[in-house]
Amino acid sequence: MALSRALNFCRSFSTVSSEPLRVCIVGSGPAGFYTADKILKAHEGAEVDIVDRLPTPFGLVRSGVAPDHPETKIVTNQFSRVAQNRRCSFIGNVSLGASISLAELRELYDAVVLSYGAESDQALGIPREDLSGIYAAREFVWWYNGHPDCRNLAPDLKSSDTAVIIGQGNVALDVARILLRPTSELATTDISCHALAALSESSIRKVYLVGRRGAAQAAFTAKELREVLRIKDLSIEIRLADLSKTPADEEELKNNRIKRRIHELLSKAATPATSVCNPGQKELHFVFFRKPDRFLESDCRSGHVAGLRVERTILKEDVGSGKQIAVGTGLFEEMECGLVLKSVGYKSIPVDGLPFDHRKGIVPNVRGRVLSEASEDAQVEKGMYVCGWLKRGPTGIIATNLYCAEETVASISEDVERGVVTSRSGLSKPGREGLLQLLDSRNVKIVPFGGWEKIDSEEKRRGSLKNKPREKLTSWQDLLEVATK
């Protein structure tokens, strides 16, 4: 009924011929802001609304980028200029599926672009994965970055001196670096105060990075690797046998300069078998050719993880892809630990009314146009688009979303040119006015960009008192209180 009133009110005085293109983007991370920027530049007069379930914009730039990588966060200046465009609005604290449905957004806007990323995690699917002390790396990252959903995570960093990280990508290196880097260096970053306090009292001295394949297949970048190798007073442990190369490895490295550089860095960092760690020195162990088999429960702490059983692997060529894949050998080892962080991939979550390919973990699409299903016979869903991780899967860097957005916006522009995304009834869509009216009728307390600017100002003020760039507000209550002052 509320939606019907919003539609009738706004349509009573508007027609397509005089009204601009109205677009709603769900998700305010890089994919969302790059899409907004491209639409505003490509369509004169277009109105773009970026909605997000959080009261803060910028997605993983705020909650995913490591606190000791401030240079990566500079892109938020560009995104802020987009949000300050008079034809663009940020509307925070609006949850798709709870505050408003996808079907309602499609009624209100000419085009809806889904770019809300991946807020869940891939499971390993091995026994005892439910033991306490086992976390997704995403949760740990959100915890130290002050995401309000994970401020109370409280990982136990005191009961054990050993942590295992499953996975060998950039996120895995990020969390390893945060666990091992001196807290005196982290204290001048925008790391959350609760994480800094916990890390300052941490007993973790050994971190194991476990991967199923070899050094030639490691998924992290040379930049991330160099950074962790430079940590002061850190012993790097790598089995020399794990660095030996097969003819297939040689071929793989010959054709990939970046992988070749990573292998060189690991080889230089490998510690001779005769070396001994200094007392109290922290250790980072790169463990290759090991596949998680099952988690082990503590004998003295019921329900808590005490270790990980791994299976040794070898590489064999996959006939279909031609790539080298890890195959178990039937030989097992056990690793003791009190903390496990699973860094094996993010996963997107579907919402009602959105077609979803559960096997690939993405919305089925062609160049950003949403398809009705993941099949060859699928039809294009008129006026519905996708961008970012939801479109292509959780891969790439921030700038990857720029090219992803260009493709999606090109599809929107083609559809506008063909008259696909505008109503043929002679009536325009209500857009922002209809959305705000509907949210108000449901008592949804929205946070506009001005509300975020209040949060931003308060965080910087608190940070200045501690020689930090900002002290993040980490609870929903604090964020909303400051935003609505």
Average pLDDT over every residue of 376-402:
93
- pLDDT value at 114 more than 60: yes
- Residue 275: predicted pLDDT: 59
Its pTM stands at 0.92
- Percent of all residues in the chain with a pLDDT value above 70, rounded to a whole number: 94
- The predicted pLDDT at position 102 comes to 97
Spatial CB neighbours of 372, under 8 Å, sequence gap ≥ 6: 355, 364, 378, 379, 380, 381
Assign 345 to helix, strand or coil.
coil
Instruction: Please compute the mean of the pLDDT values over residues 336-357 and round it to a whole number.
Output: 94
| Residues 351-374, mean pLDDT to the nearest whole number | 92
Given a cut of 80, is residue 111 above it in pLDDT? yes
DSSP strand pairing (380-386 vs 111-114): parallel
Average pLDDT over residues 64-88: 97
On whether the CB atoms of residues 285 and 207 are closer than 8 A, the answer is yes
Residue 228 half-sphere exposure toward CB, CA atoms < 13 A = 33
| Confidence band of 11 (pLDDT split at 50, 70, 90) | very low
CA-to-CA separations, 382 to 112, 127, 362, in angstroms, rounded: 10, 44, 18
Per DSSP, the three-state class of 44 is coil
pLDDT for the residue numbered 423: 52
pLDDT of residue 435: 97
Measured on CA atoms in the order 162, 166, 167, 169, is the torsion positive or negative? negative
Beta strands in 267-421 (DSSP E): 282-287, 290-297, 305-317, 324-336, 339-342, 346-347, 365-366, 369-371, 380-386
CB 90 within 8 A of CB 54: no
Is the per-residue pLDDT at 143 higher than 80?
yes
Mean per-residue pLDDT for 380-407? 95
Please check the confidence at residue 445 and state whether its pLDDT lies above 80: yes
Whether the predicted pLDDT of 274 surpasses 90: no
User: Of the given ranges (68-77, 179-188, 406-415, 426-435), which has the lowest mean pLDDT?
Assistant: 426-435
Mean pLDDT, to the nearest integer, of 209-227? Answer: 94
pLDDT of residue 377: 81
Strand 305-317 relative to strand 346-347, pairing: unpaired
Residue 289: pLDDT over 90: yes
Sequence length of the chain is 485
